[in-house]
Amino acid sequence: MKLAPQSIPYRALQKVSGVVLVIVFVVNDSARFGTLPAVGLAAAVLAVAVTYEIAYYRRFEYELTADTLDIRSGVISRREREIPYRRIQNVDVSRSILQRAIGVAAVDLETAGGSETEGAIRFVTPEAATSLQREVQRLKRDTASADGVETAASTAPDEELLFEISPRELALVGALSFDGRLIGLLVFVGSGSVPVVSGLLPDASAVALSGVVVAGIGGLVVVSWVIGAAVSFSNYYGFRLSRAGDELRYERGLFRRYSGSIPVEKVQTLTVTDNPAKRALGYATLTIETAGYAPGQGGEGGNQAAIPIARRDRVYDLAREVESFGEPAFARPPRRVRWRYGIRYLIVVSVLTGVAFGVDRFSGVDAPWYAAALLLLAVPPAAHLQWRHRGYWLGEDHLLTRNGFWSRSVKAVPYYRIQNVIDRRSLFQRRWNVASVVADTAGTSSLVGDDAAAVDVGTDDAIALRDALTARLQASLHDRRSRETGFEWVDAETVSPDPPTAVDGDSDVDGDADDDADGDADDGAVRERE
Amino acid sequence: MTTQRLHPRVRIVWILRAILVAVVLSAPVGGAAYLEFLPLWAPIAVGGVLLTLGTGHAIARYRRWRYEIREDALYLDRGVITQVRTTVPLVRIQHVDSRRGPVERTAGLASCVVYTAGSRGADVRIPGLTPAGASDLREELKRLAIRAEGEDAV
């Protein structure tokens, strides 16, 4: 199958529009040349780009074979790529405003291997994109079943709507998505104006200066809040999540439309996050994570939220729909760690007070530096809250961990997704006789150190937890294997006349279809010839 | 397999590394002393302290490092300031490398790197093995990983 013909001019312009603009402005403005050479040069560049894109269009071909998606591409160096369906993790479609106007869509196919997108199809018509998405899902299911030509599985499963964002929730997402990092950015950008402001206030009294500072900080908070609200509003506009067979499908976006599919089989971790505002209103966010990649991470805030916001009980219901982890009863760390947190906060407050004192002493600004010491009052409650919001729970099939008292996240990791178990004890943790146990998965957020972790568990509990996690991983693997094999045997007897081959096929399939979807990074998720 | 320790010569590799770090870090102090911003003993003191710390760390690290292949997992215990105990289930092993860096070659040592699909502990390195020991360990882990996989598939 070919790309959409509209993609030729679009791709060409996308590549060289910057260069063309520069040429027009620079050459046109220079005295030696003039408008004519500028236009000529720009036209030449455009012509080269269009020619290249025509060649690219003619050379680009994708094909859905019985068990692989083949992509042949490349003008100068040719590349043939075969992606087995069962290795495909997500299929995402995105369309920016301009792409919607000319009727094209970008399709991205992800496997667990590699950090980049393995199959990028730029661009096809929206209809072709959707049918590709559906077709890949169907073929994946077929190859996953023992022999791949079963007729019953070929019919598309019904799509069941799980969640659709209501205007009220959308407004809440906007209002509650306050991103502290934006303040930092704005301060950085705005720091250039500080000399200007201080120039305007030559004989500023301390009070006036503090007033300006307070007003400035207030303004920053408001501006960053508005920006954050606008960004998440446009990100989650028209969000809907549905389930079709063994796949979750989502759609979202105001300006740039995203749609994608998340295979339930490949889910690594579920994360439910909230912050004090969301907790007070009874709302929470659900994030679903698959291996090596986060859906919609294409720059738009790196979000992979499955449910941007919903009532807490609804979020938990939806999470249980994906991974039935039951009703968690978290075990908190030992009470003594509250002292550890208290001391930690005490150090932070003393440093802050010290800095304030230093500024007061050496800059000549007569600010009430001792005000920073008032934060001392907040230390005991903060330490207590941090302790209160930590915990872990060993469910029947899942490890649940809970961390963070401001932005709190509850993570559910199925035992059979665990890759490593790491038990860490820093110098300070050893003093308090506690340890942290991290369950490492192949999920993405663990790349940024956001693994499911039982933090500051008593040492004995940590050892027990570590052993329990490895034991339960083995048990669950064993469990799944025997269940799969049992299932395959029944299947083989009813469908295939030749059971031994079916079993052979199974031992080959199982490595991936069940548990280490995560793990296939290296065993040739993508076959490639160049 | 009982608990294994590293080859004692690995201390030499680590101490050499500590010397390098000490030299690099005390170089600016040395420069300052040369330009007479600092007294002459400053670089010597800084270098000495860094060297002592580095050497102490290397020795403590060697004393602490242990690994063991248990029935269904590779178990590592290491780290001086933050103690880290990693359990790598054998089924999760993706591939195993044995490798020899230039410093390791001069000391006649090699290391073995175990890869999993996990992201934090994606590669676990066991340093301080003899070249033969590293290949043996690699083969052993490969065999065990395949066996673990095979057992489960049945």
pLDDT in tens, A255-265: 888 888 777 77
Per the CB < 8 Å rule, is B86 touching A510? Answer: no
pLDDT at A524 over 80: no
**What pLDDT does residue B41 have?**
87
Is A442 within 8 Å of B84 when comparing Cβ atoms?
A: no
Candidates A420, A425, A521; nearest CB to B86: A420
* Per-residue pLDDT tens digits for B130-153: 999 999 999 999 888 888 876 544
Q: Which residues have C-beta within 8 Å of that of residue A165, sequence separation ≥ 6?
A: A173, A236, A238, A239, A240, A308, A309
Nearest CA in chain B to A515: B92
Q: What is the average pLDDT across A284-302?
A: 58
d(CA A192, CA A31): 35
Closest CA to B61 of B112, B117, B10, B107: B10
Q: What are the structure tokens assigned to A395, written together?
A: 């469910």
Residue B7 C-beta-side C-alpha neighbours within 13 Å: 20
Predicted confidence at residue B14, as pLDDT, reads: 92
Predicted confidence band of residue B83 (pLDDT cuts 50, 70, 90)? very high
Question: Among B71, B81, B92, which would you mutate to test the A interface (most chain A Cβ atoms within 10 Å of its Cβ)?
Answer: B92
B119 and A424 within 8 Å at the Cβ level: the answer is no
**Phi, then psi, of A39 in degrees rounded to 5:** -65, -40
Fill in the amino acid letter for A373. Answer: A
Residue B73 scores a pLDDT above 50: yes
Rounded distance between C-alpha atoms, residue B149 and residue B137, angstroms: 18
B94 CA to chain A: closest CA distance, Å?
7
Shortest alpha-carbon distance between residue B141 and chain A (Å): 16
Number of neighbouring beta carbons within 10 Å of residue A190: 14
The answer to whether the CB of A293 falls within 8 A of the CB of A110 is: yes
pLDDT computed for residue A262 by the predictor: 78
**According to the model, what pLDDT value does residue A52 have?**
92
Token duo for residue A21: 């603009």
Region of residue A84 (left: phi > 0; alpha: psi -120 to 50; beta: else): beta
A416 burial level (CB within 10 Å; 0-12, 13-18, 19+): buried
Interface mutation target, options B120, B142, B144, B147, chain A, most CBs of A under 10 Å = B120
Q: How many CB atoms lie within 10 A of CB A183?
A: 17
Of residues A27 and A437, more confidence is placed in A437
Chain B residues inside the 8 Å CB shell of A519: 92, 94, 116-117
Mean pLDDT of chain A: 77
Distances (CA, A) of A517 to A65, B98, B117: 21, 26, 10
* B152 reaches A (C-beta below 8 A): yes
- What pLDDT does A26 receive? 77
Considering only A23-32, A119-128, A311-320, which range has the smallest mean pLDDT? A23-32
What pLDDT score does A498 carry? Answer: 42
pLDDT digits (tens, 9 = 90+) for A86-108: 777 778 888 888 888 888 898 88
A497 phi, psi to nearest 5 deg? -75, -5
Q: Residue A422 and residue B116: Cβ atoms within 8 Å? A: no
CB atoms A520 and B84 under 8 Å? no
Cα of A484 to nearest chain B Cα, Å: 9
Summarised one tens digit per residue, pLDDT across range A362-373 is 877 666 777 777
Minimum distance, in Å, between the CA of residue B89 and any CA atom of chain A: 7
Number of other CB atoms surrounding residue A459 within 10 Å: 16
Contact state of A441 with B82 under an 8 Å Cβ cutoff:
no
Q: How far is A288 from chain B (nearest CA, A)?
A: 17
Return the bridge partners of A82, or none: A70, A527
Q: Which two tokens stand for residue A18?
A: 């910057």
Q: Check pLDDT > 90 for residue A464.
A: yes
Query: Tokens standing for A520?
Result: 């296939």
Report helix, strand or coil for A77.
coil
- On the 0-12 / 13-18 / 19+ scale of CB atoms within 10 A, A449 is exposed
Residue A23's pLDDT band, with cuts at 50, 70 and 90, is confident
- Tokens for A406? 């401001």
Between the two ends of chain B, the Cα-to-Cα distance in Å is 25
Q: Rounded CA gap, A261 and B97, in Å?
A: 35
Query: Rounded to an integer, what distance in angstroms lies between the CA atom of residue B26 and that of residue B45?
Result: 9
Q: Does the beta-carbon distance from A444 to B89 stay under 8 Å?
A: no
- Lowest average pLDDT, out of A194-203, A215-224, A281-290, goes to A194-203
The answer to whether residue A212 scores a pLDDT higher than 50 is yes
For chain A, say whether B143 makes contact (Cβ under 8 Å): no
Contacts of B64 in chain A (CB under 8 A): none
- pLDDT over 70 at A517, yes or no: no
CA dist A478 and A515 (Å) reads: 11
Cross-chain Cβ contact B119/A474 below 8 Å: no
pLDDT tens digits for range A132-183: 888 888 887 777 664 444 444 445 567 788 888 888 888 888 787 666 666 6
* pLDDT tens digit sequence for A27-41: 777 767 677 778 888
Binary contact (B149, A511; C-beta < 8 A) = yes
Q: Strand A68-73 to strand A61-64: parallel, antiparallel, or no bridges (unpaired)?
A: antiparallel
Q: DSSP per residue over B85-144, as a string?
A: EEEEEGGGEEEEEEE--HHHHHTT-EEEEEEES-SSSSEEEEEEE-HHHHHHHHHHHHHH
Q: Which of A396, A388, A382 is nearest to A456 (CA)?
A: A388
Q: How far apart are CA A314 and CA A193, in angstroms?
A: 47
CA torsion, points A430, A431, A432, A438, in degrees to nearest 10?
Answer: -20
Q: What is the pLDDT confidence band of residue A296, given thresholds at 50, 70 and 90?
A: very low
What pLDDT, on a 0 to 100 scale, did the predictor assign at position A324?
A: 86
Helix (H) or strand (E) holding A378: none
Chain A residues interacting with chain B (CB cutoff of 8 angstroms): 112, 291, 418-427, 430, 438, 440-444, 446-447, 449, 451, 466, 469-470, 473-474, 477-478, 481, 485, 506-507, 510-511, 516, 518-523
A372, A352 Cβ separation under 8 angstroms: yes
pLDDT number for residue A461: 93
**Residue A321 Cα, gap to closest chain B Cα (Å):** 25
Contact criterion met (CB below 8 Å) for A520 and A511 = yes
Name the least confident of A218-232, A462-476, B60-74: A218-232
Query: Distance (Å) from the C-alpha of residue B38 to the closest C-alpha of chain A?
Result: 26
Lookup: tokens for A459:
């040492």
Q: Indicate if the pLDDT at residue A400 is higher than 90.
A: yes
Report if pTM > 0.80.
Answer: no
Determine, for residues B117 and A518 on separate chains, whether the beta-carbon distance falls below 8 Å.
yes
A interface test, pick of B68, B87, B116 with most A CB neighbours within 10 Å: B87
Torsion angle of the four alpha carbons B110, B114, B119, B121, in this order, in degrees rounded to the nearest 10: -70
Share of chain B above pLDDT 90, in %: 41
Q: Any CB–CB contact under 8 A between B89 and chain A?
A: yes
Q: Contact, B89 vs A474, CB < 8 A?
A: yes
pLDDT tens profile B31-48: 888 888 888 888 889 999
Q: Measured between alpha carbons, how far is A183 from A175 in angstroms, rounded to an integer?
A: 16
Q: Say how many C-beta atoms besides its own lie within 10 A of residue A437's C-beta.
A: 27
CB B107 within 8 A of CB B14: no
Tell me what pLDDT residue B49 has. Answer: 93
What is the spatial distance between Cα A323 and Cα A342, in angstroms, rounded to a whole number?
36
**Chain A contact present for B68, CB below 8 A:** no
What integer is the mean pLDDT of B107-113?
A: 90
Mean pLDDT of chain B: 87
Q: How many CB atoms lie within 10 A of CB B70?
A: 13
Residue A213 DSSP one-character state: H
